[in-house]
Structures are given as C-alpha cells and as structure tokens.
Amino acid sequence: MSERHFCINCGTPLVATIIEGREVETCPNDGFVLWHDPKVATAVVVESNGGIVLGRRAIEPGYGLWCLPGGFVNDDEDPAGAAVRECMEEIGVPVELTGLLGVYHIPKSTAASMIGIAYRGRIADGLIPSAGSEMLEVGVFTLDMLPPLAFPSHQGVLSEYLRSRALREELEPRPASGEVRRARPPSRSRAAPTRRRMR
C-alpha cells in the first residue's frame, strides 16, 4: 500500500491489516476499516427519433469527447432515479427508462473502481435535448454514425445495446410486405424539426 491514510473518526494513522484474505487499513484505536468499496455509476442509452442521444463533455475526464448521459449514484438514491436525474442535468429532458442493459465492473488503477449500471431509455416525441453545464453540446446520432466515445465502459454499453437491439428485432419480426403499420396518433406537443445536433 503506497499511500498512508488516517482514521476518519479519530485521526490515528491506519495500519495494514489482513481481513478475509484482503489487505486493508484499519484504525488500531477504534477498529475503523478503510474498505476499498467501488463507486456506483449509471449510463443511459437514450433513444430519440430513431437515434440515440450523446453529449460532448465540457469537463475532464474526456473533455471534448462524446459520452452517454449518466453519472454517480448518491447514497440516498435508487440507481434508476439517479440515472433519470443525471439525464435531466446533462441532456435537459425527462427520460423514461425502458430496460436494464447490464451491470458491469469498471476497474480503475488510480481511483476507486466502479460498478456501472446501464439502462435503455427514451424521451417523448417532440422533446429536444439540450446541453447541461457539463456538456459542450448534445446530439442525436443514428446507429450507423456513432462517434467514438470517451470511455471504454460506455463503448461496451453501446455494443451491448446494439446486440440487444438486434436480438429484439429478431424476436419481433417486421410486418410482412403489404401489411400497413398503424400510424401514431397526432402529437399534441409542438412538432420538433429534426436536427442532427443541438446546442
């Protein structure tokens, strides 16, 4: 263990201790254990107008690169609630979660490792995403035009999304030729012009 830490209760220097086969630091004064717990983060593949919503980051890490909306879960939040909150902060629209894509371990060497929880979601027709303070811009990308993403974990989530989407399309075959698809009822919301990118 390279860094030296102190007890958050009493300030005593912690000492290396083996607990259940793992080396951790404990307080010799009151027994405090500095567990190396992972942080929990969410990421959401948000479907909109046949594409998905990505944001270009205005902060490090990954400044200037694209990412899925999402972020860290606070200790008083349900992960799904945290995902919806982060989407509201980052892309400025209410997102309805429609499924769980997966739960992943994201190892980090210089910070706490993470548990990533990835959801699929959508925004209502007519709502236009807008960039929150942590984004330079947001955009809706079609699946064949996706930019490289800032984080390998987000790239993995996107791959999982594309796999699950292909599977769903296999399970729900398109209507046979000649069959007419029922049109959507007219939307009451103001029709949004289709734009590739929104600031």
By CB under 5 A, residue 10 contacts Zn ion: yes
Nearer to Zn ion, 23 or 30 (CB): 30
CA triple 45-53-89, angle to 5 deg = 90
Name which position in 1, 4, 5, 9 contacts Zn ion (CB under 5 A): 9
Question: Would you call 2 helix, strand, or coil by DSSP?
Answer: coil
Smallest gap from Cβ 7 to Zn ion, in A, equals: 3
End-to-end CA distance of the chain: 45
Rounded to whole angstroms, the Cα distance separating 177 from 40 reads 46
Contact 89, 132 (CB under 8 A): yes
Region of 19-27, 54-62, 96-104, 186-194 interacting with Zn ion (CB under 5 A):
19-27
Is residue 81 within a helix (H) or strand (E), and if so which, with residue range? helix 79-91
Region of 2-10, 114-122, 143-151, 191-199 interacting with Zn ion (CB under 5 A):
2-10
By CB under 5 A, residue 30 contacts Zn ion: yes
List residues binding Zn ion (CB under 5 A): 7, 9-10, 12, 27, 29-30, 32
